[in-house]
Amino acid sequence: MEPAVQAPSKPRPHELRTLAIDIGGTGIKAVVLSATGKPLTERSRVKTPRPATPGAVINTIVELAKAQGEFDRVSVGFPGVVRRGVTVTAPNLNGNWGGFRLADVLSKKLGVPVRVANDADVQGFGVIAGHGVELVVTLGTGFGSGLFVDGILVPNLELGHHPFQKGKTYEELLGDAVLKKVGKKKWNKRLVRAIRTLDLVFNYDLLYIGGGNAERVTVKLPSNVKIVSNVAGLLGGLALWRD
């Protein structure tokens, strides 16, 4: 005999819906992805709360999540170093993020499993080919970086904070604040020099440039450098569950 009330069945792997969240210094974005990485909802974006404390950011994500409907798990791209779901640094968010158990706290709030990775690494997962040495940099509020060797991530590369010219770091010379200050022309010139240096140091097969300011790149790029859509910042979220 059929039981009167059927327990809700767990979604099969091919039906799993992943809520992908991208926490940026300026905006927090969300979309639900299918098991094959296709967006199932319209991407939404709200301003990053200021001050961007853990509590304020969590509340914003919970609101965004509600508006995105149903999902079975969550992937978060975080603008700083993350180790096993715990945030270590967050140069462009204020508040005390050192040692914050972001994955656990969010998982309790949303009632589903949560995985967190660096935002540029998530972006990388969304665009790499998976062969050879692939470097991803993101141009936004901060300067993000992700390095992949045959599709495997080299974790915690924080190129943005490496001095590049006259003691100033990539982030200090190419971040959004400085783009607004020096203008597009000078910023593009700097970018050319940065690309040359990165090529000499990493000898990558491909360099991908993403992030909100990638669309401000006006210079002609070498053939092994590609501009990628900022939306990839969300699409890579699926890769965090590939194990």
Angle (CA) 234-238-241 rounded to 5° is: 140
| Residue 233 found at the interface with ligand BGC (CB under 6 A) | no
Question: Among candidates 201, 194, 196, 152, which has minimal Cα distance to 170?
Answer: 194
Residue 138 touches ligand BGC, criterion: CB under 6 A: yes
Asked whether position 48 contacts ligand BGC by CB under 6 A, the answer is no
- The C-alpha atoms of residue 211 and residue 184 are separated, in whole angstroms, by 15
Does 158 sit near ligand BGC (CB under 6 A)?
yes
The alpha carbon of residue 239 and the mean position of all alpha carbons in its chain are separated, in whole angstroms, by: 12
Task: Report the nearest approach of ligand BGC to the CB of residue 242 (Å).
Answer: 20
Q: In terms of CB distance, is 64 or 211 closer to ligand BGC?
A: 211
Is the omega angle on the peptide bond into residue 39 within 30 degrees of 0, that is, cis? Answer: no
How many Cβ atoms sit within 10 Å of the Cβ of residue 113?
A: 13
- Among 120, 147, 153, 214, interactor with ligand BGC by CB under 6 A: 120
Q: Which is nearer to ligand BGC, 33 or 81 (CB)?
A: 81
Strands 225-227 and 168-169 come out as unpaired
Cα(238)–Cα(171) distance, integer angstroms: 27
Tell me how long the chain is: 243
Strands of 27-33's sheet in order across: 44-47, 27-33, 18-23, 73-78, 114-118
Q: How far is the CB of 8 from ligand BGC (least distance, A)?
A: 38
Residue 171 engages ligand BGC in binding (rule: CB under 6 A): yes
Q: Which CB, 17 or 134, lies closer to ligand BGC?
A: 134
Going 61 to 18 to 115 to 127, the CA torsion angle's sign is negative
Is residue 126 involved in binding ligand BGC (CB under 6 A)?
A: no
Among positions 79, 233, 236, 237, the unique one binding ligand BGC when judged by CB under 6 A: 79
Minimum distance from residue 200 beta carbon to ligand BGC (Å): 22
Q: Which amino acid is at 24?
A: G
Interface region with ligand BGC, contact rule CB under 6 A, candidates 10-18, 26-34, 57-65, 139-147? 139-147
Using CB under 6 A as the binding rule, whether residue 176 contacts ligand BGC is answered as no
Residue with the CB atom nearest ligand BGC in the bound state? 142
Contacts to ligand BGC by CB under 6 A: 79-81, 91-92, 118-120, 138, 140, 142-144, 158, 160, 171
